[in-house]
């Protein structure tokens, strides 16, 4: 029963750490949003923002497609075997 308890403590530690990081990231985002409240963005800023969002979404979708493709083709079954 001791190994099971240690795994549970490890899981709780991971959850607490990730929750703390999420809260810290939210606090920094909120602080930054309030600091930049009076800044106006021109057309070039909106274009750069749109291109950044599109590129980020495209990269994320492309990487997820590669994960699913690799799994369906069976490449993941061969990984880690000598």
Q: Which domain holds residue 8?
A: 1-38
Do 33 and 1 reside in the same domain of the chain? yes
How does pLDDT run across 1-34, given as a tens digit for each residue?
Answer: 566 666 777 888 899 999 999 999 999 999 999 9
Q: How many domains does the chain have?
A: 2
Do 33 and 51 reside in the same domain of the chain? no
CA–CA dist 17, 24 (Å, integer): 11
Do 28 and 48 reside in the same domain of the chain? no
pTM, two decimals, is 0.56
Q: How far is CA 9 from CA 2, 3, 22, in A?
A: 11, 10, 20
CA torsion through residues 81, 71, 60, 31, sign: negative
Do 48 and 71 reside in the same domain of the chain? yes
How does pLDDT run across 42-75, given as a tens digit for each residue?
Answer: 999 999 999 999 999 999 999 999 999 988 888 7
Q: Can you give 9-61 as a three-state secondary structure string?
A: HHHHHHHHHHHHHHHHHHHHHHHHHHHCCCCCCCHHHHHHHHHHHHHHHHHHH
CA–CA dist 73, 82 (Å, integer): 19
């Amino acid at each position: 029963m001791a190994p099971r308890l240690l795994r549970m403590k490890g899981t709780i530690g991971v959850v607490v750490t990730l929750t703390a990081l999420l809260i810290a990231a939210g606090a920094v985002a909120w602080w930054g949003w309030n600091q930049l409240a009076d800044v106006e963005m021109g057309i070039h800023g909106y274009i750069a923002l749109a291109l950044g969002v599109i590129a980020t979404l495209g990269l994320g979708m492309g990487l997820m497609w590669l994960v699913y493709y690799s799994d369906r083709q069976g490449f993941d079954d061969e990984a880690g075997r000598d």
